[in-house]
Amino acid sequence: MKRLKQRADFLAAAAGHRAPAGGFVLQARDRHEDGPVRVGFTCSKKVGNSVERNRVRRRLREVVRLSPPEAMRRGFDYVLIGRTTALQMPFDRLVEDFGRALRRVHASRPDPKSQSVNAGGTPNTTPHRGAK
């Protein structure tokens, strides 16, 4: 597992699938390559001062570290956006929420076989209105 550090990677992940959970929001993006899993962590200043933001990020890093390796898919970028509630939540609940969020993100990934095809024979990857 590698860490995301470039702003462009965080922005690209923001355009992917989202799964809100109690203490964080999980964003995931398929890079369409067979590279390693990459994970990024962030918190806005709304979460609190630097001590609280760092504590939230440390808790989220530990949640990811303890997750089973097969839960995250190769070639994906994941970003966890920390929330204030992550400080008060029991750690076991954060771990459960992370597993649930991963399942939701991967379940919302469209099946390539069911994509519509444009007149030129290429798959239509433009999302329709109302799709998230």
| pLDDT, tens digit (0-9, with 9 covering 90-100), for 17-27 | 999 998 999 99
113 lies in some domain: no
**Local structure of residue 32 (DSSP, 8 states):** S
54-67 mean pLDDT: 94
Q: What's the chain's Rg over C-alpha atoms?
A: 16
The mean pLDDT of the chain is 85
Assigned domain for 11 exists: yes
CATH at 34: 3.30.230.10
Say how far apart CA 93 and CA 12 lie, in whole Å: 28
Sign of CA dihedral 27, 90, 36, 54: positive
Tell whether 123 is covered by a domain. Answer: no
- What is the distance between the alpha carbons of residues 38 and 3, in angstroms, rounded to a whole number? 5
pLDDT for residue 120 is more than 80 = no
Three-state DSSP class for 112? helix
Domain-located, residue 117 = no
Residue 115 belongs to some domain of the structure: no
| 123: helix, strand or coil | strand
Q: Residue 130: inside a domain, yes or no?
A: no
Q: How many domains does the chain have?
A: 1
Nearest to 107 by CA among 23, 26, 2, 22: 26
H-type helices in the chain, by residue range?
Answer: 7-14, 50-66, 91-107
Q: Is residue 14 part of a domain?
A: yes
pTM for the whole structure:
0.78
Q: 80 near 62, Cβ under 8 Å?
A: no
**Residue 38, in any domain of the structure:** yes
Q: Which among 2, 92, 20, 115 has a CA at the least distance from the CA of 127?
A: 115
The answer, yes or no, to whether residue 85 has pLDDT greater than 80, is: yes
* Domain span at 98: 2-108
